[in-house]
Amino acid sequence: MPILADCHLHSHHSGDSTAPMQAQIEAAISHGLTRICFTEHMDFGFPYEKYADSIPPGTFDLDVLSYYEEYLSLKEKYAGKIRIAFGIEAGLHPDYAEEGKAFIAGAPYDFVIGSTHLCDENALLRLKDPSVPSDYCDPYYPQLYDKMSDEDAYHCYFLTERACVLACDWFDSLGHLDYVVRYGRQKEEHYSYAKFRDLIDPMLEAILQRGQALELNTAALSKGCRECNPCTDILRRYKELGGELITIGSDAHAPEKVASDLTAAHTILTSLGFRYYTVYENREPVQLPL
């Protein structure tokens, strides 16, 4: 059975998208999807001062009321054609765990993705000297890779992500776990789950203990990567540990990316022995057959 839900979509309510919500919905319908979930960005602790020339302050702050009002209008308009869920992609940050929890509690979300979009570029230095201050950046931008090798950047990211996941327990699905690999200069050339399993396994164990899902995000395939986020070996390890809750999203910021590579996601999951994928309704998981 094909995957008929795309549970990671952005629109003009996210600071890095200009796509109308209606255009995203129409694209989903054209692909035969029966469910979608908008997951607009809210990034806590984003270091705007680092990107003052290109990113205005507040770019990744979500206007929840405006977003919710348009969502309700379009949900009614498309009733009977496609099920539309109200979600958020919350940028995790270890120093904003309580602020994030309070923010999420302030709106009736169906689905909350917890994603680490920031990297402490001093994380390796802090292993040797904890007095070194954190210095956060977004690995989407190339400055991180001007300062260190891909492998060191990935190491810094996974150290940061582990801290984020262990500090924040209020999301439903862990988004694009190895996101950083999308933007490395050599992508997956020198990357593997095995190199970072000591940092990745504690995150998998934490979400399993809490009953949270793991996202399979297909966007990396359109960014020059051979694998999705997370890579197949991480998905395999999650299943070995007893994981069953897998959410799937294209991470589309434009209509032409909606439903991208859902067939590839289906192939990966079935090859690993997964029988279901997961959508969320009112923060509760619903299993759908693969």
CB 214 within 8 A of CB 243: yes
Residue 10: its pLDDT value, please? 98
Arithmetic mean of pLDDT, 26-41: 98
Cα→Cα distances 270→56, 121, 236, 265, Å: 43, 37, 11, 9
Check residue 252 and report its DSSP letter: B
Please name every residue paired with 215 in a beta bridge, in sequence order, or none if there are none: 247
Distance in angstroms (rounded) separating the CA atoms of residues 179 and 118: 10
Please, which residues have CB within 8 angstroms of residue 281's CB and are 6 or more apart in sequence?
85, 110
3-state secondary structure of 237: helix
Exposure string over 186-210, b if 16+ CB within 10 A, otherwise e: ebbeebebeebeebbbebbebbbee
d(CA 137, CA 121): 7
pLDDT at 77 exceeding the cut of 80 = yes
Q: How is the chain split into domains, by residue range?
A: 5-289
Q: Which residue has the higher pLDDT, 70 or 190?
A: 70
Identify the pLDDT of residue 201.
98
- pLDDT given for residue 52 in this prediction: 87
Nearest CA among 165, 166, 162 for reference residue 123: 162
Whose structure tokens read 């020059």?
A: 224
Helix (H, G, I), strand (E, B) or coil at 57: coil
pLDDT in tens, 148-159: 999 999 999 999
Confidence (pLDDT) at 110:
98
Q: Distance between CA 153 and CA 151 in Å, rounded?
A: 5
| Mean pLDDT of all residues belonging to the chain | 96
Backbone angles phi, psi at 38, to 5 degrees: -75, 135
pLDDT, residue 240, reads 98
pLDDT at 227 over 90: yes
Residue 109 confidence class, pLDDT cut points 50, 70, 90: very high
- For residue 2, whether the previous peptide bond is cis, meaning omega lies within 30 degrees of 0, is no
Interval 64-91 mean pLDDT: 98
Instruction: Read off φ and ψ for residue 241, nearest 5 degrees.
Output: -80, -5
CATH number among 3.30.1490.20, 3.40.50.11030, 3.30.420.40, 3.20.20.140, domain 5-289: 3.20.20.140
Count Cβ atoms within 10 A of the Cβ of residue 126 and give its class: 0-12 exposed, 13-18 middle, 19 or more buried.
middle
pLDDT band at 1 (very low <50, low <70, confident <90, very high): low
Which stretches within the chain are classed as H helix? 21-30, 64-77, 97-104, 123-128, 143-147, 150-167, 197-210, 232-240, 262-271
User: With 70 as the cut, is the pLDDT of residue 103 above it?
Assistant: yes
Which residue carries 């009112």 as its tokens? Answer: 282
Find residue 288's DSSP bridge partners: 277
Kindly state the helix (H) or strand (E) to which residue 136 belongs, with its residue range.
strand 136-137
- Chain centroid offset of residue 14 CA: 13
Sorting pLDDT into bands at 50, 70 and 90, what band is 263?
Answer: very high
Residue 236 pLDDT greater than 90, yes or no: yes
